[in-house]
Amino acid sequence: MGERVLVVGGGGREHALAWTLARSPRVDAVLVAPGNAGTADEEKCRNVDLAATDIDGIVALARDEEVAMVVVGPEDPLVAGLVDRLDEVGIRAFGPSAAAAQLEGSKSHCKDFLLRHAIPTGDAATFTDADEALAHLAELSAVPVIKASGLAAGKGVIVAETGDEAAAAIRDILVDRCFGDAGDEVLLEERLFGPEVSVLAFCDGTDFQVMPAAQDHKRLEVGDVGPNTGGMGAFHPSPNADDELLERIGKEVIAPTLQAMIDEGRPYRGVLYAGMMLTEAGPKVIEFNCRFGDPETQVVLPLLESDLLDVFDACIDGTLADLDIRWSPRSAVTVVIASAGYPVRSSDPTPIAGLGAAGADDRIVFHAGTRSIDDVPHTAGGRVLAVTAVRDTLAEAADAAHAGVSAIDFAGAQHRTDIARATAEVSL
Ligand code: AMP
Ligand code: GLY
């Protein structure tokens, strides 16, 4: 008999995780808590109506259903200690402990860690008092990036262009508390310049293996303009990250981080996601995330040829060095479709048409913010769907993914028509 696994979360990343695990011959059933309309329909998958942050509920579900492994998608339950709680009751879990997840949970903690261990990053100063922060701002020769230290659903970073904007951001966070407790502390961080690249690695405490690099698109609109989002699309291979660069970042960032985490008594197991800026002075860390990326997961996991459950087992058991993780040499493109108002406000549930055609021709439609109402899929969140295509060339993958997106129809849908296209040299 095969195994039963539980995926925690309900976004596009978790649909991609559930889809990939369901393809494992070792897996009989994938529970997803809470999941979405896409995971509800996926073969071998079953949704359970529990919030990802309901730690007691998730532990009880894992125990009652006798799952072989829990895979935690989002950062909040990791930072809140879900993996530690599962460990305590003897349930295998993929993801870092709460102590290790602090690398994402607190930006001031992460910055101290990086500086303490001489891992390349920009300078920063941390403040809890607005007057002190403003006084420090006045002394700086260049306008810093302003960051709320805690988890702010990806919204706590303000890349200010002027000193006035930076001062306003400091007041918004520390005085007006626009990010609540996430803004108890504020970082004034040296602004770095250069192309960005995300490097994600499977880690088993001691060893790591870097995944194929995916290029994310954070801005809402074509041409990389408009507000920052969680990510509007991604593609592989990334023009910013060849094998040599990935090896360098592995050596200069991931390896010393794993060693430092061992030295500090909190070995890092799970996915370490290093957000890097390729500056003239070399690659520097902008931030660490303690989880898979979204939408990077939707573009990278369809390229995995090994069994994902074997990879997670190796991370938990500390045997990653013995595992040969195989990846397809093909190209992949993921284009996200968001609802009206994203990323500023949410919109009412809206029926979605065209899912069948979008998924034709070997495309994969990963759901994110969707929910079934009277058996009809409706929008239920900011990022609604992601269409992924895997092809022999990047240009073919881009064409296929964009064709899939064109088939989707719902009121107010937003997507970028240039994902992977500038690089693939395909005209719009
Ligand atoms: P984060 O939420 O930390 O991923 O930040 C969001 C975006 O802000 C990043 O993807 C960068 O584009 C930008 N950013 C964050 N920190 C810096 C920095 N120190 N210098 C320049 N840009 C930054
Ligand atoms: N795509 C950015 C993130 O997952 O944080």
pLDDT in tens, 303-336: 999 999 999 999 999 999 999 999 999 999 999 9
**CATH homologous superfamily of 124-189:** ATP-grasp fold, A domain (3.30.1490.20)
Distance 374 CA to ligand 2 centre (A): 32
Distance 359 CA to ligand 1 centre (A): 33
Of the candidates 114, 49, 93, 46, which has an alpha carbon nearest to the alpha carbon of residue 285? 114
Considering every ligand atom shown, identify the ligand nearest to the alpha carbon of residue 111 and give its number: 1
pLDDT, residue 240, reads 83
DSSP 271-326: EEEEEEEEETTEEEEEEEESS--TTHHHHHGGGB-S-HHHHHHHHHHT-GGG----
Of 93-107, 174-188, 194-208, 362-376, give the lowest mean pLDDT range. Answer: 174-188
| Inter-CA distances, 386 with 11, 400, 416, Å | 10, 13, 11
CATH code that applies to domain 196-322:
3.30.470.20
Ligand 2: atom nearest CA of 289 is 5
Q: Reply yes or no on whether the pLDDT at 268 is more than 70.
A: yes
Q: Reply yes or no on whether the pLDDT at 423 is more than 60.
A: no
| Mean pLDDT across 38-58 | 97
Burial class (CB in 10 A: 0-12, 13-18, 19+), 198: buried
pTM of the model: 0.94
The residue to mutate among 286, 288, 290, having the most atoms of ligand 1 within 8 angstroms of its beta carbon, is: 286
Distance 233 CA to ligand 2 centre (A): 10
Considering every ligand atom shown, identify the ligand nearest to the alpha carbon of residue 288 and give its number: 1
The residue to mutate among 78, 107, 155, 198, having the most atoms of ligand 2 within 8 angstroms of its beta carbon, is: 198
Considering every ligand atom shown, identify the ligand nearest to the alpha carbon of residue 182 and give its number: 1
Question: Strand pairing of 282-289 and 268-279?
Answer: antiparallel
pLDDT in tens, 191-214: 999 988 889 999 999 999 999 999
Q: Is the Cβ–Cβ distance between 5 and 67 less than 8 Å?
A: yes
pLDDT in tens, 122-156: 999 988 888 888 888 889 999 999 998 888 877 78
pLDDT, residue 176, reads 81
Distance 198 CA to ligand 2 centre (A): 9
Assigned token pair, 329:
């040499």
The residue to mutate among 146, 159, 189, having the most atoms of ligand 1 within 8 angstroms of its beta carbon, is: 159
Assign domain 3-98 to its CATH architecture.
Answer: 3-Layer(aba) Sandwich (3.40)
Distance of CA 227 to the CA centre of its chain: 18
| Mean pLDDT across 358-364 | 97
Nearest alpha carbon, ligand 2 atom 3: 293
Q: Please report where in the chains the tokens 């070792």 appear, as a residue.
A: 26
Considering every ligand atom shown, identify the ligand nearest to the alpha carbon of residue 297 and give its number: 2
Q: 227: pLDDT confidence band, cut at 50, 70 and 90?
A: confident
pLDDT, residue 342, reads 94
| Mean pLDDT across 26-32 | 98
Share of residues in the chain with pLDDT > 70 (%): 99
Q: Please report where in the chains the tokens 């009809």 appear, as a residue.
A: 376
Q: Reply yes or no on whether the pLDDT at 425 is more than 60.
A: no
Measuring from each residue's beta carbon to the nearest atom of ligand 1, which residues come in under 6 Å?
122, 145, 154, 157, 159, 189, 191-192, 196, 218, 228, 275, 286-287
Which residues, other chains included, contact 334 with Cβ-Cβ below 8 Å and sequence gap of 6+?
233, 234, 235, 295, 298, 299, 366, 386, 387, 388, 401, 419
**Helix or strand run (H / E) with residue 99:** helix 98-105
CB atoms within 10 A of CB 162: 9
pLDDT in tens, 370-395: 999 999 999 998 999 999 999 999 99
- Cα–Cα–Cα angle for 41, 201, 336, rounded to 5 degrees: 40
Domain 331-424 has CATH 3.40.190.10: no
Measuring from each residue's beta carbon to the nearest atom of ligand 2, which residues come in under 6 Å?
216, 230-231, 289, 293-294, 296
Burial class (CB in 10 A: 0-12, 13-18, 19+), 329: exposed
The residue to mutate among 75, 147, 155, 157, having the most atoms of ligand 1 within 8 angstroms of its beta carbon, is: 157
Of 70-84, 93-107, 138-152, 200-214, give the lowest mean pLDDT range. Answer: 138-152
Considering every ligand atom shown, identify the ligand nearest to the alpha carbon of residue 231 and give its number: 2
Give whichever of 98-107, 179-188, 219-228 has the largest mean pLDDT.
Answer: 98-107
Ligand 1: atom nearest CA of 216 is 10
Distance 220 CA to ligand 2 centre (A): 14
Of 10-14, 57-61, 216-220, 396-400, give the lowest mean pLDDT range. Answer: 216-220
Ligand 1: atom nearest CA of 189 is 19
> What residues form DSSP beta bridges with 391?
331
| Mean pLDDT across 243-265 | 97
Domain ranges within the chain, ordered by starting residue = 3-98, 124-189, 196-322, 331-424
- More confident position, 334 or 181: 334
